Chain A
Amino acid sequence: MTSAALPASVDAMLELLTSRGYLAERALATVTYLSLRMGRPLFLEGEAGVGKTEIAKVLSAALGRKLIRLQCYEGLDVSSAVYEWNSAAQMIAIRMAEAAGDTDRDQLSSDIFADRYMIKRPLLQALEPDVAGPPVLLIDELDRADEAFEAYLLEILSDFQVTIPEFGTVKAPHPPIVIITSNRTREIHDALKRRCLYHWVDYPAADRELAIVKTRVPGISAKLSQQVVRFVQALRNQDFYKSPGVAETIDWATALSELDARSLTPQVVGDTLGALLKYQDDITRMQGDTLQKVLKDATSD
């Protein structure tokens, strides 16, 4: 893995992302570029499946940095996010010391709270020096963690150091590139957002989405890809509970090309609608006349 230099301009950033198959809006490239330049975490919020997580993966690959991912969930705590002592190994070490007749207590405690008995979790890994340069730290779906974790994260993001009582303070020589994503299942506290550069990732416009489908589903015919994108764009204008994201568009296009579909027909769409809409209510609404109408618009030249 060779480390690439950081892009020197927004255009360079856009090019870098495009070269890796991530077709970003200019606004997203700008804010990403700024976050790298200013050393500030990037906070991406948006609907599920619009490519928030993807950008971290693409960045780490393009810059040749290690990707460290912390998937958030309710009840995420220090022992699963930062570090944990390997208690079983420590106990064995104590018994071994006993068997060998070592009774020096201070020596014992400094022995068993050493680096090798520590299980490092993503946040601590991200603070460690890396030969390829500071890693990309992806904190995914922060909204799923609770407020207590958010407050803790705030502390880490402000000085990139962690204090471990038995061990001392670990400080990052160079702060990692931090990307935080949120699906907005709850509002993230202002204090955390203030430290970051914020960007709302929206659904792409039709032409961009078409380019994305062509990039990500290589074997697809031009006609089908155009129909797919038109159909999905029309769905987003409908009042659905959960509109399909870009990830769903790619899934659906992949599914259709797996089924060797040449173009959209009511039959094929009805059979594969589950790749696009994930709520029964939404699928029910998409029957009969509505489906016919959207389909007609999407397939007319």
Chain B
Amino acid sequence: MAINHLAPELTEQFADNIVGFARALRAAGLPVGPGAVIDGVNALQVIDIGSRADVFTTLEAIFVKRHEHALIFRQAFNLFFRASEEWKHMLDSVPLPDGAKKKPPAASRRVQEALSQPRMTETQQHQEQDLRLSVSDKEILQKKDFAQMSAAEITEALHAIERMRLPQAELLTRRHRPDPRGLRLDLRRTLRASLHTGGDIIDIHRLGRIEKPAPIVALLDISGSMSEYTRLFLHFLHAIGDARKRVSVFLFGTRLTNVTRALRQRDPDEALATCSAAVEDWAGGTRISASLHNFNKLWARRVLSQGAIVLLISDGLEREADSKLAFEMDRLHRSCRRLIWLNPLLRFGGFEAKAQGIKMMLPHVDEFRPVHNLSSIHELISTLSRPLPPHHRSLIRSAA
């Protein structure tokens, strides 16, 4: 059934809806160009648009080019085109997110934000996209504590974090590749080249060592006192952990959970949802010492073996601080290349290590850094991308 049976003004409206839908998809982060919109309208001319499932499949085939976009598409579709009883009209405006409904799935937040934007024309949208934050706004955003950000600012911060790319902090591996400035002679290639000249060696081929980014292991505290930061840090870890880099992520509250695999999904919201499904004690209490003990016992040997850098993200507020905590910190410190402790409490100018747990942990870290706003995350990245010093003892003398 083609579309001709509809009145012309309906057809127009229908095309408008497809354009609007495409725009919403674009806002939700799918790469949908005008060509795809035309394809979409054309494709819907030749199928029965009375069937919601058929329209869904058709549009999905046109708008979704990567598997990780399928979920966002499905949610956008369900939000944009209301339930099937009103389906025939395809004229619905966008339903606004309904607060009374139960919590939407993860990707929905992005989709809903995209759909609840006021309608704009294409040109307006382009202007909007070119409109960067003014400089002063940017500076404020860089310095503002994550805990005090509004929802919009958090979104902005998340975008900034997603754009962050970790420059390669390189470790020399023991593997070689052809390199004209290398130190080793590649006898095999030299010899093969010499055959072109009847056995005279003219070109010397050399080998240099391959460099590879150091693996990163993040231990992220998700206890109640850290809850404002957790989501942002997970976004950060998701941003730096693409497939080429070895990034393992562990969450700990009262127990330790490995969420490395959950974080590998390409869509950060979806990855976060999988993480929270995997973790039972979101924002409970903290037992740093027990969690570190578990990490040292069950995981340290499996993830720290290739010169890993450990990021310990925690406020160090531990009720049961005793010598065990110091012992486990010491063990962790001795089994990794660098131990960097990121503590959001450092944002307070007059912060002093008064809490017992913090005092216990401090002697065993290589670096102690604040991490509560964008600029501190940028600093962290520049730290991580510096050439690595050989493993060295902390400069702070152990009290023991």
Contact = CB atoms under 8 A, between A and B. Distances in A.
A185 B199 contact: no
Given A85-B191, A87-B188, A186-B305, A75 B199 contact: no
A287 interface: no
Contacts of B192: 166
Contacts of B196: 105
B198 interface: yes
Given A74-B173, A105-B198, A148-B175, A185 B188 contact: no
A241 interface: yes
- Consensus secondary structure, chain B interface: helix
Nearest to B197: A105
B301 interface: yes
Contact of B301 (A103, A108, A184): A184
Contacts of A79: 188
A91 B191 contact: yes
Interface in A174-233: 183-187
A283 interface: no
A75 B305 contact: no
Interface residues of A, number: 30
Given A75-B175, A90-B191, A98-B199, A185 B302 contact: yes
A296 interface: no
B187 interface: yes
A166 B176 CA distance: 20
A77 interface: yes
Contacts of B301: 183-185
Given A85-B188, A90-B191, A75 B174 contact: yes
Contact of A74 (B174, B198, B297): B174
A95 interface: yes
A146 B306 CA distance: 9
A61 interface: no
Interface in B186-203: 187-188, 191-192, 194-196, 198-199
A187 B173 contact: no
Contacts of A97: 199
Interface string A76-99: 010100001101001100110110
A248 interface: no
B303 interface: yes
A143 interface: yes
Interface string B87-101: 000000000000000
Given A77-B175, A77-B176, A184-B301, A108 B199 contact: yes
A95 B194 CA distance: 12
Interface in B141-197: 173-176, 187-188, 191-192, 194-196
A2 interface: no
Most buried by A among B195, B199, B301, B331: B199
Contact of A186 (B173, B188, B198, B302): B302
A97 B303 CA distance: 53
A95 B199 contact: yes
A186 B199 contact: no
Contacts of B199: 94-95, 97-98, 108
Contacts of B305: 143, 185-186
15 contacts: A74-B174, A74-B306, A75-B174, A84-B188, A87-B187, A91-B191, A105-B196, A108-B195, A109-B195, A143-B305, A146-B175, A185-B302, A186-B303, A239-B297, A241-B296
Interface of B: 173-176, 187-188, 191-192, 194-196, 198-199, 296-297, 301-303, 305-306, 327, 331
